[in-house]
């Protein structure tokens, strides 16, 4: 007879999710060099082009969550994320701001959009993330996005370090970071509250932790690909 596993208390569950912070990509060697100011222009271009493939997929990920979620109140809230990334009209939104970041490091809009610089490892990782959101229960897909809990501090530091270490990047290139910082902390808290409220069994809680762990692996895989290509990663 299988013993019934008792769900974690809300604070204990929150602690398990937050304990994955060391697996976030902030300490990746490529990010360390980015913050040190030691990346070449070519490396920054590779980073921006590959990060674009992830950025342009976020709205599709959120649309997949919407399609799987049967709760109208959650769908009403979640659709705002799609608007944030895609904008309410052409020329707006987080994805557009990332293109400006890529242009500010010397890429053209055309080469960003045609994805000629996207590496196989990046494509594989991001496509796996989209497939996860499309096929897993909606609460697991939402839990995978709890990397938002870890990103505010890193993004704040990145904005400061890039302005200082890469002064040749035009200020308009930082629009993605400046606008994202205004919403990401609140999104992280509200997403955490939502996951805690809707993971009612221990199995659901374990699945949420595994989903967040998977997302951390996706982000690491993207940087692994860029780092390897830069010639300073794995031999």
CATH number where 98 lies: 1.20.910.10
Q: Within a 10 A sphere around the Cβ of 70, how many other Cβ atoms?
A: 7
Q: Evaluate whether residue 38 is within a structural domain.
A: yes
Q: Evaluate whether residue 4 is within a structural domain.
A: no
Q: Tell me how many domains the chain contains.
A: 1
pTM, 2 dp: 0.93
Q: Evaluate whether residue 138 is within a structural domain.
A: yes
Q: Evaluate whether residue 2 is within a structural domain.
A: no
**pLDDT tens digits in sequence order for the chain, 235 residues long:** 567 788 889 999 999 999 999 999 999 999 999 999 999 999 999 999 999 999 999 999 999 999 999 999 999 999 999 999 999 888 899 999 999 999 999 999 999 999 999 999 999 999 999 999 999 999 999 999 999 999 999 999 999 999 999 999 999 999 999 999 988 888 888 999 999 999 999 999 999 999 999 999 999 999 999 999 887 554 4
Residue whose structure tokens are 């069994």: 201
In order of 107, 153, 212, the CA distances from 149 in angstroms are: 30, 9, 11
Q: Domain residues for 218?
A: 15-229
Q: Evaluate whether residue 169 is within a structural domain.
A: yes
Q: What is the pLDDT of residue 227?
A: 95
Q: What is the DSSP string of the chain?
A: -PPPPPPPPHHHHHHHHHTTGGGSGGGSHHHHHHHHT---HHHHHHHHHHHHHHHHHHHHHHHHHHHH---HHHHHHHHHHHHHHH-SSTT-SHHHHHHHHHHHTT--HHHHHTTTT--HHHHHHHHHHHHHHHHS-HHHHHHHGGGHHHHHHHHHHHHHHHHHH-TTS-GGGGHHHHHHTTTHHHHHHHHHHHHHHH--SHHHHHHHHHHHHHHHHHHHHHHHHHHHHHTSS--
Q: Evaluate whether residue 25 is within a structural domain.
A: yes
Q: Evaluate whether residue 235 is within a structural domain.
A: no
């Amino acid at each position: 007879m299988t013993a019934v596993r008792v769900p974690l208390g809300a604070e204990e569950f929150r602690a398990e999710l937050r304990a994955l912070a060391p697996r976030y990509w902030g300490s990746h060697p490529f990010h360390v060099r980015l913050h040190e100011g030691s990346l070449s222009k070519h490396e920054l271009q590779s980073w921006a082009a590959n990060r674009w493939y992830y950025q342009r997929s976020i709205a599709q990920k959120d649309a997949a969550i919407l399609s799987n979620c049967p709760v109208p109140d959650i769908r009403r809230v979640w659709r705002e994320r799609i608007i944030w990334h895609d904008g309410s009209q052409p020329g707006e939104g987080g994805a557009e701001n990332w293109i400006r970041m890529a242009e500010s490091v010397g890429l053209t809009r055309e080469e960003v959009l045609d994805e000629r610089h996207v590496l196989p490892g990046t494509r594989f990782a991001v496509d796996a993330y989209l497939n996860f959101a499309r096929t897993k229960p909606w609460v697991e897909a939402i839990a995978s996005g709890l990397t938002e809990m870890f990103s505010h501090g890193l993004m704040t530091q990145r904005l400061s370090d890039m302005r200082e270490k890469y002064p040749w990047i035009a200020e308009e290139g930082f629009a993605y970071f400046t606008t994202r910082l205004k919403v990401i902390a609140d999104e992280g808290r509200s997403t955490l509250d939502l996951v805690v409220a809707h993971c009612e069994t221990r199995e659901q809680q374990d699945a949420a932790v595994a989903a967040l762990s998977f997302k951390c692996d996706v982000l690491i895989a993207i940087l692994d690909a860029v780092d390897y290509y830069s010639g300073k990663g794995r031999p």
